[in-house]
């Protein structure tokens, strides 16, 4: 019987021909309500995180403590959203409601586009959802979709 450190690993060939990305058409666009519910699930994760971490703030809590918690949540949300979009094309909310984010072109989503999408999500949230209301137009593209050149499709 061999030990795990005695096993020789043989080199393999990596297949660079990945599965093709879906074609851009209006038939596979994710329904608006599923997109909304996916976003609400993702936002509820961060709300729960804030509720869980807020008792750890020192007493008396002043603006610096609250700002540091908010900054932590913003930075963590960047890694969560951008990482999930780049790696899997969907977040936890997107996985639950079968909503996937892809690049509008036939190429893979870039870090720049994912970062622009994340910033546009925050901009839309700060404007009380006005950026998300653009998805009610016939093009079905919200402000994050338009600024980042991405689309939401039904997975």
pLDDT, one tens digit per residue, over 63-78 is 999 999 999 999 999 9
Q: What is the share, in percent, of the chain residues with pLDDT greater than 90?
A: 69
In a domain, 4, yes or no: no
In a domain, 38, yes or no: yes
CA 63 to centroid of chain Cα atoms: 29
State the pLDDT confidence band at 61, using cuts at 50, 70 and 90.
Answer: confident
Model pTM? 0.80
In a domain, 6, yes or no: no
Query: Quick check: bond before 60 cis, omega within 30?
Result: yes
Domain that holds residue 82: 28-53+63-154
State the pLDDT confidence band at 119, using cuts at 50, 70 and 90.
Answer: very high
In a domain, 127, yes or no: yes
């Amino acid at each position: 019987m061999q030990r795990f450190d005695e096993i020789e690993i043989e080199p393999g060939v990596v297949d660079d021909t990945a599965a093709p990305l879906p074609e851009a058409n209006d038939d596979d666009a994710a329904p608006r309500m599923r997109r909304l519910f996916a976003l609400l699930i993702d936002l509820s994760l961060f709300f729960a995180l804030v509720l869980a971490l807020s008792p750890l703030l020192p007493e008396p809590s002043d603006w610096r403590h609250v700002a540091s918690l908010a900054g932590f949540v913003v930075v963590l949300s960047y890694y969560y959203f951008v990482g999930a979009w780049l790696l899997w094309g969907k977040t936890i909310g997107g996985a639950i409601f079968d909503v996937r984010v892809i690049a509008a072109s036939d190429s893979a989503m870039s870090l720049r586009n994912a970062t622009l999408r994340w910033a546009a999500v925050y901009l839309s949230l700060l404007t009380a959802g006005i950026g998300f209301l653009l998805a009610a137009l016939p093009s079905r593209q919200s402000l994050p979709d338009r600024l980042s050149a991405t689309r939401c499709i039904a997975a």
